[in-house]
Amino acid sequence: MSANASAQSQQLNSVATQDVIGQNVTSVSQLSDVRPTDWAFTALQSLVERYGCIAGYPDRTFRGKQATSRYEFAAGLNACLDKINEIISAGLADKVSKEDLATLRKLQEEFAAELATLRGRVDALDAKVTKLEAQQFSTTTKLDGQVIVTVSASGSGTDNLLTPNGTLSGNSGKANTTVISRVRLNLNTSFTGEDLLLTRLEAGNGGASVSNSLDAANNIFRGFTGFKNSSVFDYSEAGNNFTLGRLRYDFPVGKDARVTLGAVMSLNDHLDHNSFANDESVDFSTRLFINNPLILPVNDGAGAAIAWNINGGAFSVRAGYVAANANSPTSSVAAASPNGRINQGLFGDSYQGTFELEFAPKNGEDEKPFAVRLQYTRASVNNLDYNTGGLNLEWAFNKAIALFGHYGFGNISNRGTAIATALPTYINAGATGDSLSPQTWSTGFAFPDLFKEGAMAAIAVGQPLIESKVGNATQTNVELFYRFPVSSNISITPDLQFIFNPNNNSGNSTITVGTLRTVFTF
């Protein structure tokens, strides 16, 4: 049966739609349930063996005696008519015998009603396809989206920062209950079936999480998204107007490599992945547990990334580069920075380049239950130079429990100025030297499919910034959640977090944040 006739058969027969058209048969006797006593058997046998115009099914059956099989038989007959018409149109009429033409006429008369119904249904299907093509959004682009809505409440006391002379200064009071929302619309365009042009639009209600509300200090320490903003929800702060959240093009290079070029991209789409702590819509909300703050100090901007799975094996190499001010051709003075003029552009401040080596062997089920990633980042943020390393680990002991975590270490140095002058909000009074040697870590356990398939519970603890020159204590974060899938498109996640010694200050009260997160996908 030709491809068109096969599609027609599948539209006519609900049983046949469950079969996959197989190889061409060379003899009608291979179609086991067509009885030789039927007069059509000889006719079908002659046409199949002479012109090869009917395809069989993997189980070698034709279902010739079932009521619906007359329509299926008519589809095969129609295919043979098309085949012989092609032969005649090609000027090869002498290749078709008069006996075969007479057989075709007789078969047409016998199955006239089925042929008429078949062609009517095909015409209706063609009309629907034409309408769909005329009204569809795009032949190359698919739209998907995500909506996050959270209700967040907090119990907290004072929130203090160190002043340059070493005294405490801050705000007191409790954060009010808030509603935070974010909407993302992704336009996924493919031109070859293997590439992807991602255009993302996103907006929100401008909601801010607890640490934003309590700490209004300038974010001098831009690189440490996990320190000052360690309790910031990764989906907060989206403004009321739609902005361009992603504009990048991914394409394969050879068999095992993939390259990304982007005017607006984020390196955490390509680096520092973790199966249990990497996505604010399905697991942890706060930035400390989503990514290593020392490995991704800039993260967002214009740049490129490459991923190479070496020979399809256990080792993968990834690298990425972004510049946050790539659209600015001139230098500028950061309003809140004592570090003076900032050189911008594609290769200027702020920028980061990151390299990652992953080892993730597959098991017998073609899964990767264990993965370890070694990382290195070279970056510049507000004239502060970052040289940092990291480790990202995940290990699923079995289907029900997994361990995950990351560790970061390195050096942050100021160009010719004391680090205390560059970061007066955070550095202890009297601190000397022009560099820091920070560390960061987090670890936790995840429990996939807990109580329900698709659900997950997890708990994690971590310290965003360990450095004796910053504050008089070390901030510690704890977060736990349980994601419950209501359906394939809706999930609800209760989340609880505790922040001890916020901003590395023992004078700050512990912050407790309870959140109910609802996520819709479409």
- Kindly report, residue by residue over 179-189, the tens digit of the pLDDT: 889 999 999 99
Could you tell me if 13 and 19 are in contact, meaning their C-beta atoms sit under 8 angstroms apart? Answer: no
pLDDT at 492 over 50: yes
More confident residue, 327 or 133: 327
Residue among 29, 22, 17, 32 at smallest CA distance from 71: 17
Per-residue DSSP letter, 340: -
**CA of 515: how far to CAs of 125, 154, 252, 437, 497, in Å?**
50, 9, 40, 34, 9
Over residues 86-92, the mean pLDDT reads 76
Give the pLDDT score at 521. Answer: 95
Find where tokens 């356990």 sit: 445
pLDDT at 46 over 80: no
Q: Which helix (H) or strand (E) holds 43?
A: helix 39-51
The least confident of 298-312, 318-332, 376-390 is 318-332
pLDDT at 173 over 60: no
Find where tokens 């075709």 sit: 104
Could you tell me if 207 and 235 are in contact, meaning their C-beta atoms sit under 8 angstroms apart? Answer: no
pLDDT at 307 over 90: yes
The least confident of 7-16, 298-307, 344-353, 436-445 is 7-16
Token digits for 468? 């004796």
CA atoms within 13 A on the CB side of 498: 8
Cβ neighbours for 81, distance < 8 A, ≥ 6 positions apart: 104, 108
Model confidence band, residue 502 (pLDDT cutoffs 50, 70, 90): confident
Give the pLDDT score at 83. Answer: 80
Could you tell me if 172 and 156 are in contact, meaning their C-beta atoms sit under 8 angstroms apart? Answer: no
Could you tell me if 289 and 480 are in contact, meaning their C-beta atoms sit under 8 angstroms apart? Answer: no
Convert 372-409 to b/e letters by CB count within 10 Å (16 or more is b): ebebbbebbbbbbebebbbbbebebeeeeebebbbbbe
Residue among 357, 377, 380, 360 at smallest CA distance from 369: 360
Model confidence band, residue 11 (pLDDT cutoffs 50, 70, 90): very low
pLDDT at 236 over 70: yes
Token digits for 111? 């199955």
Mean pLDDT of the chain: 78
Q: Which residues pair with 244 in a beta bridge?
A: 201
Per-residue DSSP letter, 233: B
Find where tokens 């089925």 sit: 114
Out of 96-110, 164-178, 205-219, the most confident range is 96-110
Give the pLDDT score at 31. Answer: 42
The structure's pTM equals 0.70
Residue among 278, 272, 374, 267 at smallest CA distance from 322: 267
CA–chain centroid gap for 17, Å, is: 32
Could you tell me if 179 and 312 are in contact, meaning their C-beta atoms sit under 8 angstroms apart? Answer: no
**List of domains in the chain:** 3-135 (no CATH), 141-521 (2.40.160.10)
Give the pLDDT score at 74. Answer: 72
Convert 39-53 to b/e letters by CB count within 10 Å (16 or more is b): ebbebbbbbbeebeb
- Side chain identity at residue 305, one-letter code: A
Cβ neighbours for 438, distance < 8 A, ≥ 6 positions apart: 294, 408, 409, 410, 412, 465, 466, 467, 470
Give the pLDDT score at 77. Answer: 74
Measured CA to CA, the distance from residue 363 to residue 361 in angstroms comes to 7
Residue among 107, 4, 19 at smallest CA distance from 56: 19
Token digits for 321? 């580069």
Of the chain, the end-to-end C-alpha distance in Å amounts to 38
Give the pLDDT score at 350. Answer: 85
Find where tokens 């070279």 sit: 378
Find where tokens 């009885």 sit: 35
More confident residue, 2 or 505: 505
Measured CA to CA, the distance from residue 70 to residue 280 in angstroms comes to 56
Omega cis (within 30) before 332:
no
Measured CA to CA, the distance from residue 511 to residue 157 in angstroms comes to 7
